[in-house]
Chains A and B, each alone.
Chain A
Amino acid sequence: MPKGISLDFQFTSPIDRVWTAMTDPITLSKWMYPNDFKAVVGHKFQFRAEPSQWWDGIVNCEVLEIEEPNKLKYSWISGGEMTVVTWTMEQADDGTTRAHLEQWGFEGEQSFQGASWGWPRMVDQLQAALAQL
């Protein structure tokens, strides 16, 4: 299950505000979903979105790593898929925050460690292959 995405964001606020938005359950619920998050490694929590016809709306998570205010890692289990979400943040000189997000499958995490070429290359191949369809 080598699924993975990797995205970069820039938030126009200082890093401590971004950290609060990611770790305070009330603020977190305003941009994600209602949740019972706690910034404690090993804490199990849920995001509860509105259920729909094709999704029960529940994401089961466990806090895997906390490094205030730079790193937040939790498992993300939903719809029978197990992945890991990792946020890494960096304060920029101009008062903004650079954030990097990764979401990977569990197996991907193990087999792809130290071999970061694997996924981007696969994505290139995918795009090339899909262009032929």
Chain B
Amino acid sequence: MDTIWCLLLLILREKVLNRLRQRDVYEAIADPTRRELIHLLAEEEESPLHYLTGHFSTGRTAVSKHLAVLKEAELVMDRKVGRERRYRLNPVPLKQVQDWLSHYENFWKQKAAALNRLVEEEN
């Protein structure tokens, strides 16, 4: 009986943690609309919402939702200027993606060089 309670508590804890966990940058950039938004934001210092929505056929609400996801991943910062909201890109979390890429690129380059040496020796 104790074991079952322990398991249930563990599952519950995991669920709560998942909720609390910040959206990660990979999830944020998995969606093509959000990648397009990043692209648009990268071109301007700061973009008002109507400028961003003008590039999509999906409508203002959908674009706002995507911006909210980017904001949760800390890829986007916003501020209110008068009656409009302006968005700007924060590229810092993208560093995480680049770190992952360069880690594995170096790893495979080393391994491939070792493979090449090995098969040459056997010749």
Interface residues of A (CB under 8 A from B): 1-5, 7, 9, 11-13, 17-18, 21-22, 27, 30-32, 99, 101, 103, 105, 107-108, 111, 115, 118, 121-123, 125-130, 132-133
The one of A3, A17, A127, A130 in contact with B26, judged by C-beta atoms closer than 8 angstroms, is: A3
Closest 3 CB pairs between A and B? A129-B91, A31-B114, A13-B119
The interface residues of chain B, by DSSP majority, are classed as helix
CB distance from B10 to the nearest CB of A (A): 17
Residue from B30, B42, B89, B114 in contact with A2 in the complex, judged by beta carbons closer than 8 Å: B30
Residues of B bordering A, CB below 8 Å: 26-27, 29-30, 32, 35, 38-39, 42, 89, 91-92, 94-95, 97-98, 100-101, 104-105, 108-109, 111-112, 114-120, 122-123
Task: Find chain B residues with CB under 8 A from A115 CB.
Answer: 32
The answer to whether A101 touches B108, judged by C-beta atoms less than 8 angstroms apart, is yes
Question: What's the nearest-Cβ distance from chain B to residue A131, in Å?
Answer: 9
Interface centre among B95, B100, B117 (most CB of A within 10 A): B100
CB distance A27 to B118 under 8 Å?
A: yes
Residues of A within 8 A of B105 (CB): 5, 7
Residue of B nearest to A32 (CB): B111
Report how far A57 CA is from B112 CA in the complex, Å: 19
